[in-house]
Every structure is written in C-alpha cells, then in structure tokens.
A and B are shown apart, each in its own frame.
Chain A
Amino acid sequence: DTEVTQTPKHLVMGMTNKKSLKCEQHMGHRAMYWYKQKAKKPPELMFVYSYEKLSINESVPSRFSPECPNSSLLNLHLHALQPEDSALYLCASSQDYATGELFFGEGSRLTVL
C-alpha cells in the first residue's frame, strides 16, 4: 500500500465553523506533512511531524491546528478560518524526515465562505 488517503476531498465551511481534515498512511512512514496550495501556485509547507512530534511550524496562524494521534494519522483542525484560507490542502508522508521522497495524497479542497 503506497497511498496517502485524505478526507474529505471537498469541504465547504463558514467562517465560524469548526472542521477537520484527515490524512492516513499505512506505509510505516514516521514523518508526515501538511502543505497548502493556492490556485496556480506551488505547494507551501505548513507543518511537519516527525515520530508523532511537531518538528516544524512554518509560522502558520493558530486557526490551523495540527494533530498526530498516532504514526498513521494526521489531522488538521480548522477554526475561524477566513475566505483567503480557501485552498487545496495536501498531506504527505515519508519514511523519515531525512528522506526527501515524499508521498502525497490527492488533497482536500477547502472553500471558506
């Protein structure tokens, strides 16, 4: 199994809602990532988890809250988002953080109204 599965594929939420994006991998990878991608732009790194601990936060606003409940799961909790947060959110995993071969999911497309 070489898949990274992201749910939901599409999410529409209001600015006062609380929602979560989920990511799952069963490759035994110990590093997991969240990237954000706006239309026609490259993916931007948000967070990195290594061995279930947050190792990198790229100065992401606190309305985005990551969580890594176990080595296979990665969540991104969303609260009080702004319309400009509408984007494709990509999850990725790698064997460990030293490895540059990342496996990406297909993303969750978020629209904030």
Chain B
Amino acid sequence: DAKTTQPTSMDCAEGRAANLPCNHSTISGNEYVYWYRQIHSQGPQYIIHGLKNNETNEMASLIITEDRKSSTLILPHATLRDTAVYYCIVRVADDKIIFGKGTRLHILP
C-alpha cells in the first residue's frame, strides 16, 4: 500500500506560488517527509525534507500539519523550469527511498 497520496496533476500560473499537497495519514512518529522532483529526461532532484517543523530552503518551503497527517510543498514563485513530477515520500532514517506516482505540475505561461 502507498504511504502517500498526491493529486495526479496540477496547474499553476507562472509567477504564482505552487502549493503541492500530500496526504500521509498513516505516518509514524519517526518517519520523515521528503520531496523530490523529476524534470523531463533528467534524474530526480532532492528538494527538501522535514520531521515535525516547517522547513525552508532556497528551493521551497515544506509545511507539515500539527498531526503530521499531511504536508504541503510550496514553490514561492513558480517558473516554467518548475514544470516536473513532484514526489512526496515518507521514510524513516536507514530506510529505502521509494517513489510513488507523484504529482505532475504544469506551470502555465
């Protein structure tokens, strides 16, 4: 069974914030939430990860709900280069990185 549920696809206008949701209702206390993306014809790229607190880096912000059952990846100012498949993954340390189906994000000019 998949540990995460993501929408199949989403659209976002260029320059706007892209908010990508992920449900992980069965997450356990020691599982981290990771986000990767895969731009067409490239290998996946690590974006960000978190456990309980919200996290921000130069690429994105990760908002995790207080009950940890869902999270949102935020790309603050989406560009056409952000068009990609975005994968939400839950994982304990020392465990495999297993990719689910992901969300195909289209940035519209």
| Segment among B11-19, B58-66, B90-98 that sits at the interface with chain A | B90-98
Could you tell me if A102 and B94 are in contact, using CB atoms closer than 8 angstroms?
A: no
Which A residues lie within 8 Å of B36 (CB)? 102
Could you tell me if A102 and B97 are in contact, using CB atoms closer than 8 angstroms?
A: yes
Of the candidates A42, A98, A105, the one whose C-beta lies within 8 Å of that of B100 is A42
Q: Report how far A42 CA is from B43 CA in the complex, Å.
A: 11
Within 8 A of A (CB), among B64-104: 85, 87, 89, 91, 93-94, 96-102
Could you tell me if B96 and A105 are in contact, using CB atoms closer than 8 angstroms?
A: no
The tally of residues in B whose CB lies under 8 Å from a CB in A reads 24
Could you tell me if A92 and B43 are in contact, using CB atoms closer than 8 angstroms?
A: yes
Q: Tell whether A49 is near chain B: CB-to-CB under 8 Å.
A: no
Q: Tell whether A8 is near chain B: CB-to-CB under 8 Å.
A: no
Q: Tell whether B21 is near chain A: CB-to-CB under 8 Å.
A: no
Closest residue to A91 on the B side, CB-wise?
B43
Q: Report how far A4 CA is from B41 CA in the complex, Å.
A: 15
Q: Tell whether A67 is near chain B: CB-to-CB under 8 Å.
A: no
Which B residues lie within 8 Å of A43 (CB)? 38, 44, 99
Could you tell me if A100 and B43 are in contact, using CB atoms closer than 8 angstroms?
A: no
Within 8 A of A (CB), among B17-72: 32, 34, 36, 38, 41-46, 49
Which B residues lie within 8 Å of A101 (CB)? 46, 49
Q: How far is the CB of B43 from chain A (nearest CB, A)?
A: 3
Query: Which residue numbers of B lie inside 8 Å of A, CB to CB?
Result: 32, 34, 36, 38, 41-46, 49, 85, 87, 89, 91, 93-94, 96-102
- Pairs across A and B, CB under 8 Å, 16 listed: A42-B87, A42-B99, A42-B101, A43-B99, A44-B99, A48-B96, A90-B44, A92-B43, A98-B94, A100-B89, A100-B93, A101-B49, A102-B97, A103-B46, A104-B45, A106-B43
